[in-house]
Amino acid sequence: MHESRVRYDIDHLGTGSGGIRLPIRPPVLPNIDPEIVGFEADQQIVLQKLLDQSTTRRSVASIWGPGGLGKTTLAQKIPVDFDEHSQENEYYLTKLYESLRGKKYLIVLDDVWTTDLWMQIGVALPDELNGSRVLVTTRFLGIARSTNSSCEPHKPQYLNEQLSLELFLKKALPNHDPNQPYDHDLFGIAEKFAKKCGGLPLALVVLGGYLSKRQPKYNDWRKALKTLNWHADGTECIEIIASSYDDLPYALKSCFMYFAAFPEDYEGVFGSKPDKNRNKDRGRV
């Protein structure tokens, strides 16, 4: 499972709305896939909101849109150089508040599902008039607007046909020589695949990764095109993600379904071990 997530560059496909606890997050955002395209304009818009010097009050910029649109990827692309500080791995809001007092910070809250969650975390983010910033990503416009009434939420644009095809080909044919033309017939099938994804970056990444494990032959791709009965409508891409599950080996399918049986946001799946192996290694066993 871990190897597939790394190969397809997919993280945090969705989180639940249940509960308001602070999740455990790594201290830094994961590496950005350099092949992801089409975020330059969106990146500049969000960056301008975060670097606005017209106020020293703590302000919030938000990114909203449906699953798979690239909100998390866009948040990862914001190269803001704030004062470095150690981040305490604390759950409680009081500890979070204490750890941020007197510091200039940039906090990224990814995939916020409820207004209550933002309200509880928001009070733990001190406003000391030092230019601190908060960046929120969410699927819901109402939540985005509730974070800051004076800053209009930003919605990334869907990829156009050219960028969709470019991203799909990079994922489906990772070993292709950029100095060589694509096979004419294969290129035509690639255009049809790209259109099916409706401009959603996640759909293009998943589908491209799905086909990258097959021979780049016209007949193979044509058969795959006929077997895929979904079409992204620009809102969600659950069916597209399901196609990657269908392609998993039997053992990994069983492992995936086992974890799906746990309640949402369930903790304690893994116990501690003296050898301090990472969870993903133990999960693979």
233 vs 178, more confident? 178
Query: Of the residues 147, 170, 197, which one is the last residue of a structural domain?
Result: 147
Are residues 132 and 99 in contact, defined by beta-carbon separation less than 8 angstroms?
Answer: no
pLDDT at 163: 93
Does residue 185 lie within any of the structural domains? yes
Contacts of 203 (CB under 8 A, 6+ apart): 68, 196, 197, 232, 237, 240
Averaged confidence pLDDT in the chain: 73
Amino acid making up residue 121: I
Residue 64 burial (10 A CB sphere; 0-12, 13-18, 19+): buried
- Name, of 27-41, 74-88, 249-263, the range with top average pLDDT: 249-263
Does residue 143 lie within any of the structural domains? yes
Does residue 264 lie within any of the structural domains? no
Q: Which of 125, 115, 142, 137 is nearest to 69 (CA)?
A: 137
Does residue 69 lie within any of the structural domains? yes
Residue length of the chain: 285
Q: Which residues pair with 213 in a beta bridge?
A: none
pLDDT at 161: 92
In the three-class reduction of DSSP (H, G, I as helix; E, B as strand; rest coil), residue 239 is classed as helix
Query: Of the residues 93, 119, 147, which one is the last residue of a structural domain?
Result: 147
pLDDT at 164: 92
152 vs 71, more confident? 152
Alpha carbon distance 243, 240 (integer Å): 5
DSSP 61-129: EEEE--TTSSHHHHHHT----PPP-------SHHHHHHHHTT---EEEEEEE--HHHHHHHHTTS---S
Domains held by the chain: number: 2
Q: Which residues pair with 63 in a beta bridge?
A: 137, 154
21 vs 231, more confident? 231
Average pLDDT value for residue range 108-124? 84
Does residue 281 lie within any of the structural domains? no
- Name, of 31-40, 86-95, 244-253, the range with top average pLDDT: 244-253
Residue 171 has pLDDT above 70, yes or no: yes
Residue 119 has pLDDT above 70, yes or no: yes
pLDDT at 122: 85
Token couple for 256: 């995936």
Return the C-alpha torsion angle 175, 179, 185, 190, nearest 10. 60
Amino acid making up residue 213: K
Question: Is the domain of 68 the same as that of 142?
Answer: yes
Are residues 134 and 52 in contact, defined by beta-carbon separation less than 8 angstroms?
Answer: no
Q: Which of 157, 151, 115, 116 is nearest to 135 (CA)?
A: 151
pLDDT at 27: 36
Provide the domain limits for residue 142: 7-147
Average pLDDT value for residue range 52-69? 74
Query: Of the residues 147, 177, 210, which one is the last residue of a structural domain?
Result: 147
Question: Is the domain of 39 the same as that of 168?
Answer: no
68 vs 122, more confident? 122
Q: Which of 191, 160, 176, 207 is nearest to 37 (CA)?
A: 160
Question: Is the domain of 13 the same as that of 135?
Answer: yes
Question: Is the domain of 70 the same as that of 187?
Answer: no
**What is the CATH number for 58?**
3.40.50.300
Are residues 74 and 45 in contact, defined by beta-carbon separation less than 8 angstroms?
Answer: no
Residue 167 banded pLDDT, cuts 50, 70, 90: very high
Does residue 38 lie within any of the structural domains? yes
Does residue 170 lie within any of the structural domains? yes
114 vs 89, more confident? 114
